[in-house]
Amino acid sequence: MLRIKGLSYDVGGRELFTTLDLDVRAGESVAITGPSGSGKSTLLSCVLGLVRPAGGTVEVAGTDVTRLRGAALARHRSSKIGMVFQFGELLPELSPVDNVALAALLAGVPKDTAYRRAHELLEELGVPLTGASEQLSGGERQRTAVARALINSPALLLADEPTGALDAVARERVADVLFAMPGRHDCGLLLVTHDPAVAARADRVLALGDGTLSKADDAGTGAR
Ligand code: ADP
Ligand code: MG
């Protein structure tokens, strides 16, 4: 679902990635940890094609996103990738169903299908269907964001600190939902987290540091 080879990227004269490699298969979850500023969010931006690396390839579902531009890139992103941010980033005036369905409507899915699928996903993830999104709890907002990320059946689900703003109970529930998705929807999950307990639930835990990824030790820091 994701294959990164030899990724390099400089920011402000500093090499953020040197020759970074990463594979995420269908049905697999991979957690990335690493100190603040190590480039975790930038790595996800490279996968989304929002940041253009200096070198290397970033294949999402078999297509190198570093070679795509404009409308083709946007189309590939919306059909193959779902993204969950730290604070959900929902449209607060819209209902959860509208927020989730909107992502499908923007991808050209007919209205009936978009709303049916939005209902199904929110029910699966245990989010109340009525009311505005601003009335939801933090955990419900994040589960809505997961539903929105899944509505176009992405090959790859990305999450940047998805539990960073939640209390312990909501964190468990959102983590339950996220880690169930690779098995249930046959996507790959690439998740960035500071939380060792959340990271430990992934099939593999990698640490980003010194411009590259390495297998994390139990403390979540790189050990090579
Ligand atoms: P993390 O998510 O691991 O905390 P980021 O990917 O947000 O790290 O940032 C990595 C480094 O790159 C930071 O030092 C940040 O200041 C820098 N950086 C990220 N994006 C930009 C940008 N557009 N311009 C300049 N510096 C940037
Ligand atoms: Mg970040």
Whether residue 3 has pLDDT greater than 70: yes
Is 220 within the bounds of a domain?
no
Domain total for the chain? 1
Mean pLDDT over 45-59 rounds to 96
Is 221 within the bounds of a domain?
no
Q: How confident is the model at residue 218 (pLDDT cuts 50, 70, 90)?
A: low
Closest CA to 157 of 207, 216, 222, 82: 82
Model pLDDT, residue 59? 98
Residue 8: which H helix or E strand, with range? strand 2-11
Burial call 186-216: b when 16+ CB within 10 Å, e when fewer: ebbbbbbbebeebbebbeebbbbbebbbeeb
Which residues line the pocket of ligand 1, CB cutoff 6 A? Answer: 11-12, 16, 34, 36-42
Q: What is the residue with the minimal CA distance to atom 16 of ligand 1?
A: 37
Instruction: Please tell me the least confidently modeled range out of 12-16, 18-22, 24-28.
Output: 12-16
Model pLDDT, residue 178? 94
Cα of 76 to ligand 1 centre, how many Å? Answer: 24
Mean pLDDT over 76-93 rounds to 89
Burial call 98-109: b when 16+ CB within 10 Å, e when fewer: bbbbbbbbeeeb
Residues 174, 177, 179: CA angle, nearest 5 degrees? 105
Q: Are 48 and 60 in contact (CB under 8 A)?
A: no
Cα of 52 to ligand 1 centre, how many Å? Answer: 14
Instruction: Read off the pLDDT of residues 54-68 as tens digits, 9 standing for 90 and up.
Output: 999 999 999 999 999
Q: How confident is the model at residue 204 (pLDDT cuts 50, 70, 90)?
A: very high
Instruction: Read off the pLDDT of residues 149-168 as tens digits, 9 standing for 90 and up.
Output: 999 999 999 999 999 888 99
pTM for the predicted model, two decimal places: 0.92
Instruction: Read off the pLDDT of residues 169-198 as tens digits, 9 standing for 90 and up.
Output: 889 989 999 999 999 989 999 999 999 999
Whether residue 219 has pLDDT greater than 60: no
Whether residue 223 has pLDDT greater than 70: no
Cα of 40 to ligand 1 centre, how many Å? Answer: 8
Is 75 within the bounds of a domain?
yes
Residue given tokens 């999402």 in the structure block: 60
Q: What CATH code is carried by the domain that includes residue 29?
A: 3.40.50.300
Average pLDDT of the residues of the chain: 92
Q: What's the domain range around 15?
A: 2-215
